[in-house]
Structure 1
Amino acid sequence: MSALLTVAYALVRGTTAPFGQESEADVIPVQRDLMHARATLRRWLQARHTTGRVAEVGDLREFSDGFSGELYAFEATYRDEHAEHSEDLVVRFEPGTGYQLFLETMFEEQYRVMAALRTHAVRVPRPIGYEADAGVLGARFFVMERARGSTGQLGQDWMNEIGPQGREQTWWSGLAAMAELHRCDPRRLDLGFLDQPGRGSDPIDQQLQYYWEYYAWVSAGDSHPVIEKAYQWLRRHRPPLPPPAGLVWGDAKRGNQLFTEDFKCSAILDFEMVALGPAEVDLAWWLEGEYQTAQGLGFEAQPTVEETTERYADLLGREIADLDYYIVFAAFRLAVLRIKLYQLREGQKYRGKPRDGDKRLARVLAEWAGITGLRV
């Protein structure tokens, strides 16, 4: 799965487009000569492989469901003195400024987080290597294994076919995998580089400031009163005693997880929005995004907020705090993000409308913050 909010499946297109067709026109087209990239990757891998000689790198194949990541799958074949074997790999390139979704790409940070989590048995793809020299292939890139399984994005054929019971199993298995990440201590993983003291004294302050800067960048002076109202509310109603800060995955949903045939989560993907903060940030994003997607596609109800919160508290080993605040925070972040998504999808069929995120945010503010009468 690509790096980027594939909540866009049901959100950027609205609820009118046939599901899945929005991937026909991705935000980032092919940016390089793939034959040259293939030959360069073979040499690059050879220098990093410790068990055998890289005999061949197969064709680079685009992912059909990507939005921000220029991402290719390929097969690498190795030979040693005893045998030949192969493995499926993925290369991801850093987006250029013309296709940059976020205020900062956090490209190297994503790789470092994934590598750190792998050492603590969190279900992430095995990192192969990171290239900091953009001159090698025209952009920074990293290579990782292609984890087995299918994306849990609602609307995929296999997710349609497994029925409500199967989808509920993916819900709980996906949350259990996410809890493994949340139980990690960022200090023990040496993830202090995610701290942004220039934006605030604690992770929530830092994230609020980040998304306010992001809003200023993407809005380019065009006012979005609902987003501004939400930001003011989030500043005024910050929980006085925030939960313990840990690692925030960022784009927390089944669409950024892989599942095996028995509905077990096999991998967590996409750390483009990684940050520090309490687990509530991810849990609220999961609930807000998953419910929006289900509603947009006409799916039956997912497990309830109450059921999910209770189960997740057991997985974390502590109570979930101030979920209403973090639900508003999730809708606020998504509304800002969707301004940029709308811009990037100019000329594409399933672009949506410029203030779709504002409309959803207004509904969330009414339900979770008691702020009514907002006009979009």
Structure 2
Amino acid sequence: MFHFPVTCRAVEVGPVPVPDQRDPEVTRATLEAWLAALLPGATAVRVPHVQTPATTGFSAETLIFDAEWHAGGRQRSGGYVAKVAPTGHQIFPEPRFGEQYRLLKILAGTPVKVPTVHWYEPAPEVLGAPFLVMSRVDGEAPTDMPPYHTGGWVTEVSPQTRQRMWWTGLDVLAQVHSLAVDTLGLGFVDQPSYGATGIEQRLGYYENYLAWGYDGSVPVAEAALRWLREHRPPEPDPPVLLWGDARIGNIMYSGGDLTAVLDWEMATLGQPEEDLAWFLYLDRHHGEGCGVARLPGFPSAAETIARYEQLAGRPMRHMDYYEVLSGLKFAAIMARIGQLFVHYELVPPDNDFPRNNTASQLLARTLGLPPPGGELTVPAPMGS
């Protein structure tokens, strides 16, 4: 789920409001009726309350609720999270919620520790958009707002705990990449309409994404796209499942131990270097990109690559290329977020944030280009 920081200093902007607020009581009653119709033979179905967060990132809407019912001669209950597909404020052109549900069902039978997903509702009539429901998981994920190198609970744990969290995240990558794509039937996450190979697909996808997601131009992203097309490396190995949004910010931890791997919106097929580069690049952004040193305990990029090579049993190739690809993705996503800020009048229409932000500046630095322009834009709310 995308809670990417609008600035590295969250106090300057604060949380991003949800564009469309739900009435908690109406939502509670709707979920209760939906669940009662869904559970065969269940009686006394109750949803006592629903928590609708006042703020969120521009991503899937999250509803947190408890449910209880009587079935099979016993009382049953559980804590659940519903993820509702975005409508007007979506980050991606296609939310792919049906694919996410299918993927989570498959991953439940693998070593990858994902939340238990129970139901998928494709009909928009219930909550206004398709949604899926999974079990609530204990723990917390490293924060994006503020970035975890600058604040939040990760700054308060020991360096040893941070190291364990990092290596655990790397182990997740190895688990995901080792899954048998054909045996498990994972080919449905591939995106052949954008190209024949993983890199071709990503370049085609993000070229389309930039045109779809932002009304203006993002020169540094366009420069990255040209560079990536001109320097495209071979892809010699069979494609593997990619987590897509592979980073410790999408892992739930409790006491430094992994409890669940979250957020599969960007899942696809490709070379493992792509996930590893994103894993490193997002962490680089949360440190260097925010002008702060990484917290003690987190292994270096070189150490991480070396360890992953041991896990994968082969060298990681063309990591510089995949680093630029990661920068393109991130800059494009931040441009889209900036477009949404303008659309919902959270910032003035002439605000430069979509083109000039921490992601675009880090991409320029990675490419050896001048910064996007002037002092870094901080999107102050309208009327401030």
TM-score (norm 2): 0.85
Aligned positions of 1:149-298 closer than 5 A: 149-153=139-143, 154=148, 157-220=152-215, 222-261=216-255, 263-295=256-288, 296=290, 298=292
**Aligned partners of 1:152 and 1:255 also within 8 Å:** yes
Deviation of 1:99 (Å): 0.5
Determine which of 352, 359, 362 is the counterpart of 2:361: 359
**Aligned pair count?**
358
Aligned to 2:213, what secondary structure does the other structure show? helix
Which runs of 5 or more structure 1 residues have no equivalent in the other structure?
367-371
In the alignment, which of 14, 36, 58 is matched to residue 22 of structure 1? 14
User: In the alignment, what sits opposite 1:369?
Assistant: none
User: How far off its partner does 1:48 sit?
Assistant: 4.1
**Letter aligned with residue 88 of structure 1:** G
From 274, 295, 315, give the equivalent of 2:311.
315
Percent identity among equivalent residues?
36
136 and 223 in structure 1: CA distance in 2 versus 1, 3 angstrom threshold: closer
How far off is 1:328 after superposition?
Answer: 0.4
Q: Give the whole-Å Cα distance in 2 for the aligned partners of 1:156 and 1:189.
A: 40
- Cα 1:219/1:136, change in 2 over 3 Å: closer
Distance 1:375 1:344 in 2: 20
Between 1:52-61 and 1:68-77, the stretch displaced more is 52-61
Q: Partners of 2:235 and 2:269 in 1: how far apart?
A: 16
CA distance in 2, matches of 1:18, 1:192: 43
Cα distance in 2 for residues equivalent to 1:109 and 1:115: 10
Contact 2:58–2:337 (8 Å) recurs in 1? no
Distance in 2 between residues matched to 1:250 and 1:132, nearest whole Å:
23
Match of 1:113 among 103, 118, 126: 103
1:94 positional shift: 1.0
Question: For 2:198 and 2:101, how far apart are their aligned partners in 1?
Answer: 21
Q: How far is 1:280 from its partner?
A: 1.3
Distance 1:249 1:186 in 2: 13
Partners of 1:43 and 1:353 in 2: how far apart?
A: 43
Indicate the residue corresponding to 1:75 in structure 2.
66
Taking the aligned partners of 1:238 and 1:373, their CA distance within structure 2 comes to: 23
TM, length-normalised to structure 1: 0.87
Q: Cα distance 1:322–1:54, how it changes in 2: closer, same or farther (>3 A)?
A: farther
Cα shift at 1:132: 1.0
Q: Is the 8 A contact 1:258 1:267 kept in 2?
A: yes
Of the three residues 80, 90, 98, the one matched with 1:100 is: 90
Work out whether 1:300 is the aligned partner of 2:294: yes
Shift of 1:245: 1.2
The match for 2:380 is none
Measured after TM superposition, the shift of residue 22 of structure 1 is 3.0
Counterpart CA distance in 2 for 1:192 and 1:323 is: 25
Give 1:373 deviation, angstroms.
5.0
8 A contact 1:71–1:90 mirrored in 2: yes
CA distance in 1, matches of 2:73, 2:38: 20
Label 1:250 to 1:38 Cα distance change in 2 as closer, same or farther (>3 A): same
Amino acid at match of 2:142: G
Change beyond 3 A, Cα 1:324–1:54:
farther
Hey, what does 1:134 align to over in structure 2?
124
The amino acid across from 2:200 in the alignment is: D
Question: 142-151 or 316-325, which moves further after superposition?
Answer: 316-325
Offset of residue 119 of structure 1: 1.9
Q: Note closer, same or farther for the CA distance 1:352–1:178 as it changes in structure 2 (3 Å cut).
A: farther
- The CA deviation string for residues 47-99 of structure 1, in whole angstroms up to 9 with x for no partner, is 44469546321311134554312111111123346543421100111111x20
**Aligned counterparts of 2:111 and 2:39: Cα–Cα separation in 1:** 22
Q: Name stretches of at least 5 consecutive residues in structure 2 with no aligned partner.
A: 374-384
Evaluate the alpha carbon distance shift between residue 237 and residue 333 of structure 1 in structure 2; reply closer, same or farther with a 3 A threshold.
same
